[in-house]
């Protein structure tokens, strides 16, 4: 059998393209925060993870430019060898302090952070326990490890405890959950997970890629619930609120030291380019200096969620600036995306396996820099589109 046969027979995306409802890999000709240009059309961007609107902040741009002038465009090596800059270490020290942990280490991307951390900590004979709605990079990190993978139904504490009860006491155990679940905008019930983890001798890791800069006054989901000291490892990325690219893991000094010397995704990847490290550091400083951005994005989220619900849309269990419009059908999800796009609103259609079957949705997300006028326009387009397609 030719290994490429599967490629030749893959027609799903081509069929959607032929029908004019293919929504992915849309090339943006311009992207200035809350607005983007695609196919020559100006759109209000409601599909970005730029929660604090910092990608266009003058201080972030200037920091990136100055880093290129000082250090060049690449470190041309891994952190393990020649790729560590004093800039990386400054960023790590300030991040650890921001999230309330002893130490931190940065990876080149958020995906590599999860893959490297989980696969280095979970060895043969160990067990990693995942929420079924965890991000794909968490799943991949678990699969790459030499340990056994157990999963529990999303946010189902009863099922989780049954899983934990069934595990051998002598095995090392790591539970990994998203802090803010990226598709439906709900939060992990950390106040309930912490006592279960302690009861069954499980270490707890929180992926706060979408929560950092948004929840807990910007310090993340553990801070939001007041359980920072009880969460063993906190992970986040720079491609969301930090307006850059990369990721980090934070925890006890000994744990981070171990990860630094065992995570293949760190040791065998080139380090974050200077511009990205400098941009993330500048974004962190802005979070500290301009906390009103964090307040603003959450106020916007509360208003938009209420208005969508009043129209009759299903927003699931969202309590954050990630607000799903749950549709429950692939075809209708794509059609709704197209109508919104044609009327000047950019959102992200999400279908299985990114969400569970029957939970197909339009993922909307908001920035602190969205204006009231833009938001009213988005709501108007959603209302008219929902009526047109029989969604409300």
Task: Quote the domain boundaries for residue 39.
Answer: 5-51+291-388
C-beta separation of 232 from 252 below 8 A = yes
Give the 3-state secondary structure of residue 74: coil
Q: Domain check: are 157 and 239 in the same one?
A: yes
Whether 35 and 149 map to the same domain: the answer is: no
pLDDT average, residue stretch 287-296: 98
Mean model confidence pLDDT for the chain: 97
For the chain, percent of residues with pLDDT exceeding 70: 100
Going by C-alpha positions, the residue among 257, 232, 259, 237 that lies closest to residue 122 is 259
| Other CB atoms within 10 Å distance of the CB of residue 257 | 13
Instruction: Write out pLDDT tens, residues 364-374.
Output: 999 999 999 99
CATH for 163 = 3.40.640.10
Of 128, 186, 170, 122, nearest in space to 152 by CA: 128
pLDDT digits (tens, 9 = 90+) for 307-355: 999 999 999 999 999 999 999 999 999 999 999 999 999 999 999 888 8
Separation of alpha carbons 100 and 81, rounded Å: 28
Q: Are residues 284 and 298 in the same domain?
A: no
For residues 237 and 340, state if they share a domain: no
**Paired strand residues for 203:** 174
- Residue 280: its pLDDT value, please? 98
Question: Using CA atoms, how far apart are residues 339 and 387, in angstroms rounded to an integer?
Answer: 11
Based on the fold, state whether residues 213 and 347 are members of the same structural domain.
no
Alpha helices in 136-252 (DSSP H): 136-144, 157-165, 190-199, 221-225
pLDDT of residue 238: 98
The larger pLDDT score, comparing residue 249 to residue 356, is at 249
Count of domains observed in the chain: 2
pLDDT exceeds cutoff 90 at 391: yes
Q: From 244, 265, 289, give the residue that closes a domain.
A: 289
Separation of alpha carbons 342 and 336, rounded Å: 10
Query: How far, in Å, CA of 313 to CA of 306, rounded?
Result: 10
161-208 pLDDT tens trace:
999 999 999 999 999 999 999 999 999 999 999 999 999 999 999 999
Domain boundary among 270, 289, 308: 289
* Single residue among 245, 268, 289 that ends a domain in this structure: 289
* pLDDT for 128 beyond 90: yes
Residues 181 and 210 in one domain: yes
Quote the pLDDT of residue 30: 87
Three-state secondary structure call for residue 229? helix
Rounded to 10 deg, the angle between the 274-289 and 292-311 helix axes is 80
In this structure, the answer to whether residues 140 and 204 fall within a common structural domain is yes
Looking at the fold, whether 265 and 157 belong to one and the same domain comes out as yes
Q: State the Cα–Cα distance between residues 46 and 344, nearest whole angstrom.
A: 10
Q: Are residues 224 and 345 in the same domain?
A: no
CA atoms within 13 A on the CB side of 340: 28
| Beta-bridge partner residues of 237 | 247
- The span from the CA of 261 to the CA of 123, in Å, is 15
Closest CA to 171 of 136, 145, 135: 145
- pLDDT tens for 250-270 read 999 999 999 999 999 999 999
CATH number of the domain enclosing 369: 3.90.1150.10
> Quick one: 88 and 47 in the same domain?
no
**Measured distance between the N- and C-terminal CA atoms of the chain, rounded to whole angstroms:** 49
Same domain, 124 and 260: yes
Task: Calculate mean pLDDT across residues 263-286.
Answer: 98
Edge-to-edge order in the sheet of strand 348-350: 322-326, 361-365, 348-350
Residues 234 and 174 in one domain: yes
pTM of the complete model: 0.96
For the beta sheet containing 345-346, the strands, ordered from the edge strand earlier in sequence to the opposite edge, are 28-32, 35-38, 41-45, 345-346
């Amino acid at each position: 059998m030719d290994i490429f046969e599967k490629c030749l027979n893959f027609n799903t995306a081509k069929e959607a393209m032929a029908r004019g409802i293919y929504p992915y890999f849309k090339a943006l000709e311009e992207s200035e925060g809350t607005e983007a240009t695609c196919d020559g059309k100006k759109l209000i961007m409601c599909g970005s993870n730029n929660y604090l609107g910092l990608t266009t902040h003058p201080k972030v741009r200037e920091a990136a430019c100055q880093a290129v002038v000082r250090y060049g465009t690449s470190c041309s090596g891994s952190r393990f060898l020649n790729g560590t800059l004093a800039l990386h270490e400054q960023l790590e020290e300030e991040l650890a302090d921001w999230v309330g942990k002893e130490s931190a280490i940065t990876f080149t991307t958020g995906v590599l952070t999860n893959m490297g951390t989980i696969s280095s900590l979970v060895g043969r004979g160990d067990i990693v326990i995942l929420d079924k709605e965890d991000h794909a990079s968490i799943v991949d990190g678990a699969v790459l490890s030499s340990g056994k993978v157990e999963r529990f139904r999303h946010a189902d504490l009863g099922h989780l405890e049954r899983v934990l009860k069934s595990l051998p006491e002598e095995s090392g155990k790591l539970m990994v959950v998203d802090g803010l679940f990226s598709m439906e905008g709900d939060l992990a019930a950390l106040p309930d997970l912490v006592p279960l983890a302690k009861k069954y001798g499980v270490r707890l890791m929180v992926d706060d890629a979408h929560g950092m800069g948004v929840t807990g006054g910007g310090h993340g989901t553990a801070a939001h619930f007041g359980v920072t000291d009880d969460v063993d490892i906190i992970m986040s990325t720079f491609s969301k609120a930090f307006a850059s690219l990369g990721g980090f893991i934070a925890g006890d000094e000994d744990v981070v030291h171990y990860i630094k010397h065992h995570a293949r995704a760190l040791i065998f990847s080139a380090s974050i380019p200077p511009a990205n490290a400098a941009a993330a550091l500048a974004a962190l400083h802005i979070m500290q200096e301009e906390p009103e951005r964090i307040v603003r994005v959450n106020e916007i989220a509360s208003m938009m969620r209420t208005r969508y619900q009043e129209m009759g849309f299903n927003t699931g269990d969202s309590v954050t600036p990630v607000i799903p419009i749950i549709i429950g059908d692939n075809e209708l999800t794509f059609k709704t995306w197209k109508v919104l796009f044609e009327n000047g609103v950019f959102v992200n259609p999400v279908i299985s396996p990114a969400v569970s079957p029957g939970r197909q949705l339009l993922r909307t997300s908001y920035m602190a820099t969205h204006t009231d006028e833009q938001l009213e326009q988005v709501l108007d387009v959603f209302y008219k589109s929902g009526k047109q397609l029989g969604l409300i």
